[in-house]
A and B are shown apart, each in its own frame.
Chain A
Amino acid sequence: MTTARTLYQQIVDTHTVRSLDAPGQVLLYVDRQVLNEYTSPQAFAALHAAGRSVWRPASTVAVVDHVNPTTPERNARTMVLADADRARQVSTLAENCQRHGIDLFDMLDERQGIEHVVASEQGLVLPGMVMAAGDSHTTSHGAMGALGFGIGSSEIEHLLATQTLVYQMMRNMRVSVRGQLGAGVTAKDLVLALIRQIGADGAGGHVIEYTGEAISAMSVEGRLTLCNMSVEAAARGAIVAPDDRLFDYLHGRARVPKGAAWDAAVLAWRQLRSHEDAVFDKDVVLNANDIAPMVTWGTSPDQGASIDAVVPDPEQESNLTQRRSMVRALEYMGLHPGQALDGLPISHAFIGSCTNSRLEDLHAAARVLRGRRVASGVRAMVVPGSTSVRQQAEADGTAQVFRDAGFEWRQSGCSMCVAMNDDHLQAGDRCASSSNRNFEGRQGPGARTHLMSPAMVAAAAVAGTLTDVRRWAAQ
Chain B
Amino acid sequence: MEPFHQVAGVAAALPPANIDTDQIMPKQFLRGINRQGLSQGFLFDLRFSAPGQERADFVLNRAPWRSASILLTGPNFGCGSSREHAVWGLRELGLRCIIGTTFGGIFADNCARNGVPAISVPMAELDRLMTLATDPDRCQLVVDLQTQTITSPADGQQLHFDFDPLRRHMLLHGLDAVGLTLQHAQDIQRFEQAYFQARPWLATTASDVNG
Interface residues of A (CB under 8 A from B): 14-15, 17-18, 20-22, 25, 27, 29, 32, 38-39, 41-42, 45, 50, 52, 55-56, 58-59, 61, 83, 85-86, 88-89, 92, 103, 123-124, 126, 134-136, 149-155, 157-158, 161-164, 166, 168, 200-201, 204-205, 234, 236, 254-258, 261-262, 264-265, 268, 300, 321-322, 324-325, 328, 418-420, 437, 439-442, 445
Contacts of A324 in B (CB 8 A): 15-17
> Are A124 and B207 interface neighbours, CB within 8 A?
yes
Bound together, the chains give a CA A204 to CA B27 distance in angstroms of 25
**Top 8 nearest A-B pairs by Cβ distance?**
A41-B33, A152-B84, A85-B31, A154-B113, A152-B110, A261-B201, A265-B201, A257-B201
Provide the residues of chain B in CB contact with A92, threshold 8 Å.
Answer: 33
Of all chain B residues, which has the CB nearest A201? B76
Q: How many residues of B contact A (CB 8 A)?
A: 62
28 A–B contacts, CB within 8 A, in A order: A17-B187, A21-B165, A22-B164, A25-B166, A29-B192, A58-B207, A58-B209, A103-B207, A136-B80, A150-B106, A151-B106, A154-B84, A168-B164, A200-B79, A234-B105, A256-B205, A262-B201, A264-B200, A268-B201, A321-B15, A324-B15, A418-B81, A420-B30, A437-B22, A439-B22, A440-B22, A440-B23, A440-B45
Within 8 A of A (CB), among B102-135: 102, 104-106, 109-110, 113-114
The docked-state distance in angstroms from the alpha carbon of A441 to that of B80 is 13
Interface residues of B in 32-70 (CB under 8 A from A): 32-35, 45
| CA–CA, A257 and B200, complex, Å | 10
- Expressed in whole angstroms, the Cα–Cα distance for A86 and B22 within the complex equals 18
Which stretch from B4-12, B90-98, B148-156, B177-185 is at the chain A interface? B177-185
Does B178 contact A17, Cβ atoms closer than 8 Å? no
The answer on a CB contact under 8 Å between B201 and A201 is no
On whether the beta carbons of A321 and B16 are closer than 8 Å, the reply is: yes
C-alpha gap A262/B205 in the complex (Å): 10
B157 at the interface (CB under 8 A from A): no
Given A29-B192, A158-B177, A163-B192, A437–B31 Cβ distance below 8 Å? no
The residues in B between 139 and 180 inclusive whose CB is less than 8 angstroms from any CB of A are 164-166, 176-179
Cβ contact within 8 Å between A234 and B104: yes
Q: Are A22's CB and B201's CB within 8 A?
A: no
Smallest distance from the beta carbon of A474 to chain B beta carbons, Å? 35
- Asked whether, in the complex, the Cβ of A154 is within 8 Å of the Cβ of B45, the reply is no
The residue that A162 contacts in the complex, of B22, B188, B195, B209, with Cβ under 8 A, is B188
Closest residue on chain A to residue B168 by CB atoms: A22
Pairwise interchain contact B166-A89, C-beta atoms closer than 8 A? no
Which residue of B is nearest A418, CB measured?
B27
- Bound: A45/B20 CA distance, A: 26
CB distance from A200 to the nearest CB of B (A): 5
**Does B208 reach chain A (CB closer than 8 Å)?**
yes
Which among B102, B114, B184, B201 is the interface contact of A154 at CB below 8 angstroms? B114
Task: Tell me the minimal C-beta distance from A235 to chain B in angstroms.
Answer: 9
A154 to B86, CA, bound (A): 13
Check A445/B106 contact, CB under 8 A, given A41-B34, A58-B208, A321-B74.
no
Beyond A126-B205, A445-B45, list 4 extra A-B contacts (CB 8 Å).
A103-B207, A163-B188, A234-B104, A439-B23
CA A203 – CA B73 in complex, angstroms?
Answer: 19
Residue in contact with A135 in the complex, picked from B79, B82, B209, CB distance below 8 Å = B82
CA of A288 to CA of B166 in the docked complex: distance in angstroms? 42
A98 to B35, CA, bound (A): 22
Bound-complex Cα distance A204 to B78 (A): 12
B82 touches A151 (CB 8 A): yes
Considering only CB atoms, which chain A residue lies closest to B190 in the complex? A17
Contact check, B82 vs A441: say whether CB atoms are below 8 A apart: no
CB contact under 8 A between A27 and B188, given known A58-B211, A162-B182, A420-B30: yes
Cα(A254)–Cα(B192), bound, Å: 23
Determine the chain A residues whose CB is within 8 A of the CB of B199 once the complex forms: 265, 268
Neighbouring B residues of A418 by C-beta, 8 Å: 27, 81
Complex alpha-carbon distance, A440 and B199, angstroms: 46
Chain A positions within 8 Å of B17 at CB level: 200, 300, 321-322, 324-325
Pick from B32, B195, B210: contact of A29, CB below 8 A.
B195
Chain A nearest CB from B77 CB (Å) reads 10
